[in-house]
Amino acid sequence: MNEKERQEKIQDEIIKGMYKIFDKLEQRITKLEKVLASHAKCIGEMRVKELSELTPDEFAKQVRFK
């Protein structure tokens, strides 16, 4: 194996390693997006529950219309 072939082999291995890292990062980002969406939904449900327990005057103070 000459020097050029050896360097190409090393580059291929580096590229394969980088693809593995990118795949793992993509999987983690996707998982984080799902977790954040779930938490946002839970927070929204908790907020709605809190607001539903307020009197009309208290509700008006809590809700700001833009």
Contact status, residue 34 vs residue 42, Cβ threshold 8 Å = no
pLDDT in tens, 2-56: 999 999 999 999 999 999 999 999 999 999 999 998 888 877 777 776 777 777 7
Tokens encoding 52: 């539903």
48-65 average pLDDT score:
72
Query: 0.75 exceeded by the pTM?
Result: no
Query: 29 lies in which domain range?
Result: 3-62
Say what the pLDDT of residue 66 is. 46
Handedness of CA 30, 27, 42, 58 (dihedral sign): negative
Task: Please state the domain count of the chain.
Answer: 1
Q: CB of 20 within 8 A of CB of 31? A: no
